Amino acid sequence: MQKKELKESVTAQKNRRGFNRVLHAFGYSIAGLKAGWYETAFRQEALASCVLLPASFWLGRSWVETVLLAGTVLLVMIVELLNTGIETAIDRIGPEWHDLSKRAKDMGSAAVLLSLLLCGATWGMALYQRFGQ
């Protein structure tokens, strides 16, 4: 009986339709953001975004520049959440060391690094264009 109840709760979201599905999906997304908040790296990036997102409207000279500046900041947070999801799933599998687990975690970390480099380069070029010339 308990397995049947568990299966129904796992597939319940797939059976929902319309606004009810959207409402529940939004709740799961908020739960994911709350879970991410407990990760130090995500918390640091979220706090930095509180400064950088408003600054993108000030620094951007056009809507395209503003979107690029704000978008790279949001991209870092998105990639960090995905990396945390990978690490959490790997940790759930087991604590023992495995080459594939290490590789998955390293690739997630590399994705975060690349997003940070993209963000830094984008902001650096925008700052140079605004103040360096």
Q: What pLDDT, on the 0 to 100 scale, is given for residue 19?
A: 86
- The reply to whether 105 and 72 lie within a common domain is yes
- The reply to whether 65 and 19 lie within a common domain is no
- pLDDT-derived band at 122 (thresholds 50, 70, 90) equals very high
Measure the CA–CA gap between 56 and 108, rounded to whole angstroms. Answer: 27
Q: What pLDDT, on the 0 to 100 scale, is given for residue 7?
A: 53
Total domains in the chain come to 2
- The reply to whether 7 and 44 lie within a common domain is no
Q: Which domain holds residue 79?
A: 39-132
- The reply to whether 27 and 71 lie within a common domain is no
- The reply to whether 30 and 80 lie within a common domain is no
Which residues are catalytic, by number?
80
- The reply to whether 29 and 60 lie within a common domain is no
- The reply to whether 72 and 124 lie within a common domain is yes
- The reply to whether 86 and 44 lie within a common domain is yes
- The reply to whether 72 and 56 lie within a common domain is yes
CA proximity to 127, closest of 76, 62, 60, 64: 60
- The reply to whether 66 and 121 lie within a common domain is yes
* pLDDT tens-digit map of 58-89: 999 999 999 999 999 999 999 999 999 999 99
- The reply to whether 69 and 114 lie within a common domain is yes
- The reply to whether 2 and 48 lie within a common domain is no
